[in-house]
Structure formats: C-alpha cells, structure tokens
Structure 1
Amino acid sequence: MSMDILEIARVQVLDEGRGLTAEQALTCLELPDERLGELLGLAHEVRMKWCGPEVEVEGIISLKTGGCPEDCHFCSQSGKFESPVRSVWLDIPSLVEAAVQTAKTGASEFCIVAAVRGPDQRLMDQVREGVKAIKDAVDINVACSLGMLTQEQVDELAEMGVHRYNHNLETARSHFGAVVTTHTWEERLSTCQMVRAAGMELCCGGIIGMGETREQRAEFAGQLGELAPDEVPLNFLNPRPGTPFADYPLVEGAEALKTIATFRLALPRTILRYAGGRELTLGDLGTRDGMLGGINAIIVGNYLTTLGRTPEQDLELLADLKMPIKALSPTL
C-alpha cells in the first residue's frame, strides 16, 4: 500500500523543507473535500515552521491604467477588448499620497504597476521620479510591475532601489497559449530570471480559474517551485466584462482552498500572498481559512481594476487571528 500524500508531505515538506513536485501537488489537489481540513492544517504547520507567524502587507496602485497592447484574456486593461477601462496616467503627487496611506496600514511594501507590454523611456522616467518621491516621503519598500524588461531596464530599476519586481507567469506553461497570444511564457520567464540575477526580489505568481485543468495547476505549482520566487501572489479569476473570460465561472471555495494549501506545500519558504478575486471566491470565512492554510501575505485595499476588502477588514482579521504584521526591514 502506497503512503498517503499528506504523510509524505509531513516528512518531505514539514520536516525537511523540500517542496512537493508537480506530481505530488496533483495528488493533493485531487484529495476529497472531506480531507480539506487535514490539508489546510498541514499547510499551516509548514507556513509557521518555514516562514513564521508574520504576515506581509502590501498596497498596489496603477501608474498607467488601460490601453495595453497585449491580449491577456483575463485583463480588462487590454486595448484589444471592449472593456470599460480607459487609458489613464497617474501623477506623482497622487502616487506619493497612495504610498503614504498604504504605509499607515502597517504595510511594508508598495507596488507601482503599469499596464504595458514593457516600459518605454517615458514610463521609466516617471517610475524613477516616483520611486525617489516615495522614498523621500515615507519609509516603505517600493516594488514595480512594468511588464517585460530588457537587461538595461532591469539594471536601471535595481539602481533606482526598487526592492521587488512583479512579473507573473500567470499559468502553467502548457496552458499559457490559451490565455495570451501576443507574447510567450518563455518571454515572461526571461524577465523573471534577469530580475533574480540583478539582486532584486522576484514576485511571480498567477491566476487560478482560467480554464486550466487540475493537472495544469499542479504543473504551475511545480514550475514556480523550480523558479523559486521570493513571493507568489495567488489570484482567483474575477471575470471582467468585455474580456474573453467574461463568462468563466468562479473557482469553487473548496477548490480554491485546496489550491492555496497545495501551493504552500510546493513552496514551503515562499511568501504566499492573497491577491485578486479572493473576496468573490472565498468570502470572509474562506479568507480566514486561507490564512490558516498557508497564506502569509495580503494585498490590502483595492486592486488594479477591481475592488477589494477595506484595509480595516483585513487588519481586523489579522488581529483576530493573532498574526503579527511583518515590520519593514532595512534594505541595502
């Protein structure tokens, strides 16, 4: 009789700190719903042992919204779809004010996002000005998400003092072509590898519920395990009007929680962050279950084109769960 996957994970992941393989992750995802509590409990033990009790809080804001030339089928910011999002640029004072307000929540990270294939010189200049203005105004780490980068741009962002760069692989390599056709998974991976090599922290995750199979979710967990990013944001599809995925169903709550716990077991030392879609997919009770099932970071406030819970709701949840907010640590 073969060993139970959770018995295997208890030794391999909890005791030894080695993440699940894609094949093992699939076995976890296929566990019956009545074993969800066991799975979440083990994932929480793994999180506490290898990451500790602290929760990293982050705020995000869009410097350039809408009008993106790419065709990511989930995204209402694509200029190729008839969505209600219109192209807008944010001014630097508004950017700084958002960073200040984010810091007041106790957040240690503030991410500047732009809806672009990759940054042009105008955007790089604005980011440079914005990063400096934020650092002059408030003590918070600045992250960026500006699409695909050249080596020169990676070096420039590192020189600016950008702490972390977000570039999601979005989904498993085998499923990517059903989600995006204007660039490749390999192009995204290249940016991620350059970011790591330049010494910036790498934030790289994706979206669950874009028509992928359980096998492909497990494949994605394994691929992220190989890349070993510092942070993995887990989004759940919030179908946006006008996009090709507008009519996709929401991920069921139990399936979402299995995914969270499985990704924790595949990535025992990684910051696993609640991101977009959790409010619809999990609600308040499910959000709490996820925090007790491997999640150790959250985005507070609204997302780029969708509304989130208020920061006060999330901070109250963390206080109720007695999970301390990770303090800002100095960066070199």
Structure 2
Amino acid sequence: MSILDTARTQVLEQGIPLTEEQILDVLRLPEDEISGLMELAHEVRLKYCGEEVEVEGIISLKTGGCPEDCHFCSQSGLFESPVRSVWLDIAQLVEAAKQTAKTGATEFCIVAAVKGPDDKLMAQMEEAVAAIHAEVDIEVAASIGTLTPAQVDRLKAAGVHRYNHNLETARSFFPQVVTTHTWEERRETLRLVAEAGLEVCSGGILGMGETLEQRAEFAAQLAELNPHEVPMNFLDPRPGTPFADHEVMDSRDALRAIGAFRLAMPRTMLRFAGGRELTLGDEGAETGLLGGMNALIAGNYLTTLGRPMEQDLDMMDRLNLPIKVLNKFV
C-alpha cells in the first residue's frame, strides 16, 4: 500500500496522525504524486479544521539588536546586517492593529527581537495589549522570547491569548542553526505557555540545510506539542547572516512539506509565513492553500516584504476560501 493510501485511511478516515517514519515517506514522494498529496491534505484540513482561513498581521515592537545568533535572522546584533534597532511606541502599535483589523484579520501578533523580556518590555506589552483591546476588536498574540512562569502569567492576565515561540528546526539540527541557547530552552517556554492555558504557536523555518530525515523529525516534534498553530516559514536568505548564501528551497519540496505537516497534524492551524513568496510564488501559494494550509500572515513580515494584503484577500476570494471571523472577544 502506498503512503498516500495509508494516510487516507489512517489520517483522513481515522484521525490518527502520521508517525515520523511515515512523514519521511511523504517527504520522499515522487513529483507525480505531489498533486495527490495536496488533494488528500486539503481533504484532511476541511474535515478536521473546516474551510475558514485565519488571517494575521504581525508587527515588530523591537527590531534588531538581538543578542542571539540564530543563523537565519538579520535581527541578530552579532551579524553585519542592514537591520537597525528600532522600538515602536504604543500609539504605533494601536494604529497597526487597526490597519490589520480593517483587512478582516482576527489576529495581531506583537514580536520583539530579544532573548527574553525585561521589566520594561513586559510593562510595554501590558500597556500595548490594553490599549489595543480598548480600541480594536482583534485577538492579540505575542512573541517576545524565552519566558519565566511569572512572565507567562502576566501576559495571560494582560489579555494575550496565544504565544509564539518557534522550535525553529529539528532538535538534532538545532545546534547548526543557533548556539547561544538550546532547543530545550525553547521547549520549556512552550511547556509553561501550555500549562498556563495560552494557545501554543510554534513552528520554524524549512530549507536551512536540514536533511529530509530531520525535516520529518521536526514535524513529529511539533506534533508532540499539540500546538494550536504552526507557522511554516521557508528560508529567505538574508544578507549578512551565516545563511546568506543558502539556496532557496525547491518549490516541490516545499509542497511536500506542507502536505506532510498537515498529515502529521490534522487538527492544527498551519500558517503560511515568511519566504512563501520567494519559494512558492503566487501559483504555489494557491496550491498550498488548497493543500493543507489554513492560515496566513498577510502583508509584510518582520524584516522582509510579503505580498500586499489585498492580493492575499483577492486570492482567497478567487479560491472561495472564507476568512475566519472573530466570533468571540475576551
């Protein structure tokens, strides 16, 4: 029996995710079976997640000057990068949230390039979330690095409902990507977030030089988190970083990964994130949304340009994919 036949029975009909070994089989599918994979992944997505697409906008509260050495990131202060350190004020964050909400997005994520928040950043986050909730009907997520239990509790009390902290890559490959902190540190923050009752958002970047075996390992490790959301980024090599000369991931491998991640996490929100424009282009993005993805970041990313929000909204309209609406606000 082929892996797609097995996945149809196991995942679509029984709701049982693929194992790491089975994920690897999907990542090795021949090119002529990619369309079949996309069709199956879309069926799984519709059955277990519905047809709605969640749209999110993100903004960087603090950009650049990060003390960590994530080799893909132009915000590291350790590399010769053109990104300069910038802080936004509360009014700018509120205005960005308003503009995001106007597109129909239900999610607004505040990001800071730090190892973890200090008291100043925590206080600014609390003030920002309160100000946004006072003026905008939108959910607020956060991504501000490694947290302590007390900081998790403060963010939850402030009204943050989802926390992003990417594992970035497979545990076995992580030391080739980051040396200033460990995969285990990231995993511990995610444990604290889940225990506090916040929604867990964790994904990473594909195409950083990992093997197919490590890509399968990564998907399986993410699945173990039982995350609410997994952002899928594809490496966009940034000038000045150690990965600046990496080749862009093959679009066919990207589609295989999208299908494999959906079959590994049938009930999880899979979000198109950075690098999709470079790796997949317009046609590939449409294929991904009809191949298992059910969320996207609209507009620009933290340090790279995305597609104009209007183009993404037009694409979803063309594909007859409804945008998720905010049906509750806490």
Give the TM-score range, shorter chain. over 0.9
1:158 is matched with which residue?
156
- Give 1:18 deviation, angstroms: 1.2
**8 Å contact from structure 2 (residues 116, 147) kept in 1:** yes
- Give 1:192 deviation, angstroms: 0.4
- Aligned with residue 113 of structure 2, among 91, 97, 115: 115
In the aligned structure 1, how far is the partner of 2:102 from the partner of 2:239?
33
In the aligned structure 2, how far is the partner of 1:76 from the partner of 1:230?
27
* SS of alignment partner, residue 235 of structure 1: strand
Question: Is 1:313 aligned with 2:311?
Answer: yes
In the aligned structure 1, how far is the partner of 2:67 from the partner of 2:42?
40
Question: Is 1:56 aligned with 2:35?
Answer: no
Q: Which letter maps to 1:259?
A: A
- Aligned with residue 41 of structure 1, among 29, 39, 44: 39
In the aligned structure 2, how far is the partner of 1:32 from the partner of 1:84?
40
**8 Å contact from structure 2 (residues 137, 329) kept in 1:** no
Q: Which letter maps to 1:93?
A: A
Aligned runs of 1:171-210 on 2, under 5 Å? 171-210=169-208
In the aligned structure 2, how far is the partner of 1:331 from the partner of 1:231?
19
* SS of alignment partner, residue 257 of structure 2: helix
Calculate the TM-score normalised by the size of structure 2: 0.99
Which runs of 5 or more structure 1 residues have no equivalent in the other structure?
none
- Runs of 4 or more off by more than 4 Å in structure 1? none
Calculate the TM-score normalised by the size of structure 1: 0.99
- Give 1:329 deviation, angstroms: 2.8
Question: Is 1:328 aligned with 2:320?
Answer: no
2:272 is matched with which residue?
274
In the aligned structure 1, how far is the partner of 2:64 from the partner of 2:37?
39
In the aligned structure 2, how far is the partner of 1:18 from the partner of 1:109?
29
In the aligned structure 1, how far is the partner of 2:117 from the partner of 2:157?
16
2:246 is matched with which residue?
248
Which runs of 5 or more structure 2 residues have no equivalent in the other structure?
none
Aligned runs of 1:15-26 on 2, under 5 Å? 15-26=13-24
- Give 1:331 deviation, angstroms: 4.5
CA deviations 1:130-151 (Å, max 9, x no partner) are: 0011001100000000000000
1:287 is matched with which residue?
285
* SS of alignment partner, residue 152 of structure 2: helix
In the aligned structure 1, how far is the partner of 2:140 from the partner of 2:93?
11
2:29 is matched with which residue?
31
1:84 is matched with which residue?
82
1:106 is matched with which residue?
104
Number of residues paired by the alignment? 330
* SS of alignment partner, residue 282 of structure 1: helix
**8 Å contact from structure 2 (residues 56, 298) kept in 1:** yes
* SS of alignment partner, residue 264 of structure 1: helix
* SS of alignment partner, residue 144 of structure 1: strand
